[in-house]
Amino acid sequence: MKKWLSNVFEKAPKRSKATLSTVQAKFNDFLEILDNNNRVLKIIGDMEEKAQGEYLFDINYIRASLNEIRQGVREIVEGMISLGGESYEGLRERYRKIDAEISRVLPENRPVEKDSFTIPFGEVGCDRAWSVGSKSAQLGEMKSRLSLPTPDGFAISAWAYKHFVDANDLQTRVSRCIDAVDFKQLGDLRGVSEEIQAMVSSSPVPNDLADEIRERYAELRERVPKGGVALRSSAIGEDTLFSFAGQYESFLNVGADDLIDRYRDVLASKFTPQAIYYYLSHSLSEADLAMAVGCVTMVDSASSGVIYTRDPIRPEDDSLVIYSIYGLGKYLVDGTLMPDVFRVSRDSLEAEHTEIEEKPVKLVTCAERGTTEVPVPEAEQGLPSLDEDQVRQLAEFALKVEEHYGGPHDIEWAIDPEGRPFLLQARPLRVIETKADVDEPDLRWFKVLASGGTTVCPGAGSGPVFHVDSPDGLPGVPEGVVLVYSNPCPGLVTVMGKVKALVTEVGSTASHMATLAREYNVPTLVGLKDASSLPVGTVATVDATGQAIYEGEASELIKIRNLDVQVLDDTGIYTVLNRLLESIATLKLLNPDDADFLPEKCDTFHDITRFVHQRAMEEMFSMGQNLENKDRVALRLKADIPLNVNIIYIDRDLSTLRGKKWIQEDEIGSAPMEALWAGIMQEGWPSQGRPADLKGFMSVMTTGFATDTRGEFSENSFAVLGKEYMILSLRLGYHFTTVEAMCTELPSNNYIRMQYKGGGASHSRRARRIALMVEILSRMGFKHSGRGDFMDAKISYEDFRVTSDKLRLLGRLTMMTKQLDMALSNDAISQWYTQDFLKQLGLEKEGS
């Protein structure tokens, strides 16, 4: 018997304890997490409100909000690691992944971060776009993570660009020029462009950077001995929702001797007139768009082109579109040639419709470096530039890219003379939808000046016809005209803000200019062979949707066409915001009891805040329970009931309490504790226990001897308090109640968690008491996740008054259920008490 009693009362193994100073420091981390959480959620709420379309805002609002959210979420992550330890370090990686997705939507206005000067493509992916730019990052992503065929090569980082700029003291001089220019005045724009490009071109590439580029190039040549390389722009922000299509220079078939000079030329191309116009017209800051560069092995292309995984003009059509020419793809994207078009079923991967064009010339690489134009043999000019197997294979690759990124994509590709395909580039595709049920206006009274061509941006616009035959004529383009140009060069971007419509004699939907027209939402027709015959000065209406040009101003047509078009242009301010909100505001982690409520399942910034908010509360709960030496640092609460509660203040200077042993009820100074204690005192100490039968009494005696009641809580009750925070470990006989609460003026900070365990009666009676409490708490809005005779109930996000009221009810319920388990001999009695308590607490349902 003596040995048995010794085993019964042997203390449970000690848990790790936290000192008061540690808990105080952690509590500060906890409060900072809550403050940052509120700040982030407030900004997210404001962004979601703006996205409804009822308020005006600009790109600078989006950037400022995004920067605040990034900073807040970073601090939340670091605060959680400080509070809970290394088990939460995985949140940093989740933050980086989410941030990389956001960077694909909107270029970041953050300082260039230190990285290697050069990085092999095999070591980069989307999460390194901040360093190597999106173009190189996508090549690395497709190569290493999708196992798709891409050319070998390496990235020259944004950090390398910064090193070049700093070494030559360029940034201040460049910024002075950019800040002074009126980008809408093309003559001034050209002057500033020439001045800055001259600065860059005359500046030496630092020796350490040049040496590293040459070393990395030599390593590349060991892997791929034949052919030259392409030096391609991969600026920060390029190939995101801001395409920068054709705005920067790329140099093809470059050799070792010209490598450094061509690298510098790519850097200088950041300051062409069209590039400056592009980023200033989108309210982008030049200083934020560091020029990274991709050094890519050349593909000696037998054919090349572009794939749109959705038709950008008819996205509802369940097909993808492949554009193809012979030779290098430059002649396709700059509008020199009309490409073959293969409209491919997304299901069968077979071409359902083809348009084969005459392809009289092609651009090819030269043995002595560079490129040259050569004629296509006459017998091959009208043949398809792709066979059925190549179409199918390219379609398979394209759909894999689209699935990986979760949206339509614009993909550049090439096939070498051996028939091997390579993907060269991937960026988000901008698409436009038109309504199907639009009543066509009566146009019988309008003379048709021309018809045909290809729609690259639907809509309609009217104005005097104005012809330009070379880039030199672009500065003279007046406001409000219909511009007619020979071929769709990317330089046309400099007038897209002033023309009403655009018409070119050659070109296709896949050119860089077509991409830009959709970005700027300019009604555009290309490939209109009679465009040069349109009479100069004649007011005309271009119906890009209907592929016709009418004499005069067809105002009703313009109105209908512009209402008809729903722009899904991803650079549209609302679409940019909504795309950002997909990675910021969407909440996927909902239930903390789910097995997937884990750091690695956080897919959005909102997920991170939700996860951390929940786990931070749990960490504070655990520390409050396991505070060491509670009795040495506690003050006894003086009360009129026989309940010993010792109070520890977590946010007070202990020196102000030195020598003090007691706290009066009116000195508690903690909002949640005051509310709970008010409920306890309102109900009062039970004058006598609930009536119990003999079995209930015997079960108490048995349980009292058989249960070790000294393991989790000490004999005294303890409260760890802050001004707005409480964790109360309350011992009442043989059961233990723990209540944690935050009660502030901010509903998003507020929560209550109540745990209830133990009792003197049998397990069945204790379980009935838990069931009774769960039903009452459920009526109050709590959610319960315990089982058997253990209760774990939670509620959150209520305002101060509601939280205080529920804490008072909890105080009353705690006194009501003291030793109740002895009386609950059957379910009928339990139900009677449930209804009685609900009535006393004012929680009865109407009509019951």
What spatial distance separates the first Cα and last Cα of the chain, rounded to whole Å?
53
Q: For residues 497, 501, 505 and 508, what is the CA-based torsion angle, rounded to 10 degrees?
A: 80
The answer to whether the beta carbons of residues 139 and 148 sit under 8 Å apart is no
Task: Report which secondary-structure segment, H or E, holds 7.
Answer: helix 2-8
- Find where tokens 């003009």 sit: 313
The answer to whether the beta carbons of residues 98 and 608 sit under 8 Å apart is yes
**Cα–Cα dist 164/199, whole Å:** 12
**Cα–Cα dist 293/285, whole Å:** 19
How many beta carbons lie within 10 A of that of residue 590, not counting itself?
Answer: 11
The answer to whether the beta carbons of residues 246 and 336 sit under 8 Å apart is no
* C-alpha separations of 547 from 430, 460, 496, 558 in Å: 20, 10, 19, 13
**Cα–Cα dist 796/782, whole Å:** 8
Reading the block at residue 113, the tokens are 């971060």
Reading the block at residue 412, the tokens are 């550049």
Reading the block at residue 750, the tokens are 């507020």
Reading the block at residue 710, the tokens are 């000294």
The answer to whether the beta carbons of residues 242 and 282 sit under 8 Å apart is yes
Query: 389-434 pLDDT, tens per residue?
Result: 999 999 999 999 999 888 889 999 999 999 999 999 898 887 776 6
Compute CA 729 distance to the chain's CA centroid, rounded to the nearest angstrom.
41
Compute CA 765 distance to the chain's CA centroid, rounded to the nearest angstrom.
51
Query: Residues of 174-208 as b/e, b for ≥16 C-beta within 10 angstroms?
Result: beebbeebebeebeebbebbeebbebbeebebbee
Neighbour-count burial of 488, counting CB atoms closer than 10 A to its CB (0-12 exposed, 13-18 middle, 19+ buried) = buried
DSSP state string for 574-613: HHHHHHHHHHHT------TTSTT-SGGG--SHHHHHHHHH
**Cα–Cα dist 620/626, whole Å:** 10
Of 18, 41, 1, 6, nearest to 610 (Cα)? Answer: 41
- Find where tokens 């071109």 sit: 201
Of 784, 789, 787, nearest to 766 (Cα)? Answer: 789
Output phi, psi for 194, to 5 deg: -65, -40
Rounded-to-5 percentages of helix, strand, coil across the chain: 45, 20, 35
**Cα–Cα dist 627/23, whole Å:** 8
- Show the low-confidence residues of the chain (pLDDT under 50): 1-15, 566-571, 692-715
Neighbour-count burial of 439, counting CB atoms closer than 10 A to its CB (0-12 exposed, 13-18 middle, 19+ buried) = exposed
Of 276, 278, 343, nearest to 509 (Cα)? Answer: 343
Of 800, 722, 782, 799, nearest to 30 (Cα)? Answer: 722
Reading the block at residue 562, the tokens are 């512009």
The answer to whether the beta carbons of residues 77 and 96 sit under 8 Å apart is no
Neighbour-count burial of 383, counting CB atoms closer than 10 A to its CB (0-12 exposed, 13-18 middle, 19+ buried) = middle
Strands 409-415 and 303-308: antiparallel
Of 38, 34, 102, nearest to 604 (Cα)? Answer: 102
DSSP state string for 75-101: HHHHHHHHHH-GGGTHHHHHHHHHHHH
Angle between helices 20-50 and 573-584 (to 10 degrees): 150
Of 38, 49, 36, 37, nearest to 577 (Cα)? Answer: 49
Strand-pairing partners, residue 304, are 325, 414
Query: 797-823 pLDDT, tens per residue?
Result: 899 999 999 999 999 998 888 878 778
* C-alpha separations of 256 from 262, 293, 610, 656, 713 in Å: 10, 16, 53, 74, 74
Residues near 842 by Cβ (< 8 Å), separated by ≥ 6? none
